[in-house]
Amino acid sequence: MITATSSPNIALIKYWGNRNDALRLPAADSLSMVLDTPTVEASVELSDVFTVQSYDANGTEKPQTEQSVARLAHHFTLAKEYLVSLGRGKNLPKNISLTIRSAIPPAIGIASSAAVFSCLGEAYGALVEGRPLSREEVSILSRLGSGSAGRNSYGGFVALINHADGMASSYAEQIADEHHWPLHDIVIVPSVKEKKVGSTEGHAAAATSPLFAERLRAIPKRMRECISALRTRDFEKLQVVSEEDALEMHRVMESQNPPLQYLSDETHRILKEIEGLRKSEKLNVLHTMDAGPTVHLICAEDSVQTVTEFAEAQKNCLIFKTKTGKSSRLITS
Ligand code: DP6
């Protein structure tokens, strides 16, 4: 049995839209911070038929939808295709049984797909005979299941960079490891309602937004600025570029066809209040939102106490605290 572990990541320069939906090849580069909690573990065993069993934080079995099993099975097929293309296809199993244990509490606004598929990228990489796969190769295996999962194959701050064409043409590059600049992510969840449209469908319609082409033109400069802010630990620079990018991604989502409105009135209220507090208390805090109303408040050590108190004072919101973490990795093989 092969077992791997991983956790989610939070994007500072967002991935939205693909140049190839089937292979999850992003239309542009993106960059995120890998988080240290909550964790997911995935185990792979050889089997005659493809099966999936999934358990929540309490060890209770979660029923799998047909759609989610089909996505996992398709990822396994793509992963084998990629390994064969590397000349590493010898003795790969025809089928496997997957056991996924997720400590990600339901509805905390942290997408689990990056954590799940990066575990699977690690585990599938361990199916090959001979030399271990490189971190780039593991990143590609993970990305084939969920675009953002491709950014978990290193710890700390990780970019997903586009290269020439083909299945293997987008993979991770580490900008700085998890010890370089420990940052906190205080997550405020205003609503636990399930979103109606997931990222996969959303990515596929991104190009229908009249703002999409302009976004693609803006990203290379933002990537350079974000990388420079991270390398020099310049919080203000990081705040300006990441907030601009996240809010622009939401304008793209809201103007695509059909439009996706992930931010709620509560999200906007929280943003306004934290911006006021940041100004009055001179806090090193930035806000960012993925495909949902959840607000991630990323902050430096000197500001974490005030930001946590602000989060805990929010009525009817779930709060989750996490920070910069390590890469996806094998536990047993
Ligand atoms: C808004 O990686 O979740 O969180 O490939 O369909 O699983 P799939 O998409 P996913 O897209 C992430 C979108 C985002 C921004 C980001 O994390 O960069």
pLDDT bucket at 113, cuts 50 / 70 / 90: very high
Amino acid identity, position 97 = S
* 16 CA distance to ligand 1 middle (Å): 7
* 176 CA distance to ligand 1 middle (Å): 21
Q: Best substitution site from 20, 104, 148, 263 to test ligand 1's pocket, by max atoms within 8 Å of Cβ?
A: 148
What digits encode the pLDDT tens for the residues 114-139?
Answer: 999 999 999 999 999 999 999 999 99
pLDDT of residue 197: 84
The whole-chain average pLDDT of the chain stands at 96
| CA atoms of 303 and 285, how far apart (whole Å) | 7
- DSSP helix/strand/coil, 322: strand
Radius of gyration of the chain (CA): 19
* 277 CA distance to ligand 1 middle (Å): 29
Question: Which tokens is 100 given?
Answer: 């996924």
pLDDT of residue 164: 87
Looking at ligand 1, which atom is closest to the CA of residue 200? 6
The pTM of the full predicted model, rounded to 2 decimals, is 0.97
Task: Count the residues in the chain.
Answer: 333
Say if residue 169's pLDDT is above 80: yes
What digits encode the pLDDT tens for the residues 9-62?
Answer: 999 999 999 999 999 999 999 999 999 999 999 999 999 999 999 999 899 999
What digits encode the pLDDT tens for the residues 181-214?
Answer: 999 999 999 977 767 788 999 999 999 999 999 9
pLDDT of residue 196: 78
| CA atoms of 149 and 141, how far apart (whole Å) | 9
Question: Which tokens is 287 given?
Answer: 């806000």
| CA atoms of 260 and 255, how far apart (whole Å) | 8
Query: Going by CA atoms, what residue is nearest to atom 1 of ligand 1?
Result: 290
Structural domains of the chain in order of their starting residue, each with its CATH number: 2-177 (3.30.230.10), 184-323 (3.30.70.890)
Whole-angstrom CA distances from 143 to 122, 136, 167, 262 are 11, 10, 10, 23
What digits encode the pLDDT tens for the residues 249-302?
Answer: 999 999 999 999 999 999 999 999 999 999 999 999 999 999 999 999 999 999
E-assigned strand segments in the chain: 2-6, 9-13, 18-20, 25-26, 30-34, 40-47, 51-55, 61-62, 95-102, 157-162, 170-176, 184-189, 285-288, 295-299, 318-323, 329-332
pLDDT bucket at 106, cuts 50 / 70 / 90: confident
| CA atoms of 45 and 56, how far apart (whole Å) | 20
DSSP state for residue 77 in the 8-state scheme: H
Question: Which tokens is 212 given?
Answer: 């999409």
| CA atoms of 38 and 157, how far apart (whole Å) | 17
Ligand 1 pocket, residues with Cβ under 6 angstroms: 11, 14-16, 24, 30, 111, 113-114, 146-148, 199-200, 203, 290-291
CA terminus-to-terminus distance, the chain: 6
Looking at ligand 1, which atom is closest to the CA of residue 114? 2
* 199 CA distance to ligand 1 middle (Å): 6
pLDDT bucket at 165, cuts 50 / 70 / 90: confident
pLDDT of residue 192: 72
| CA atoms of 15 and 212, how far apart (whole Å) | 12
Question: Which tokens is 205 given?
Answer: 């319609």
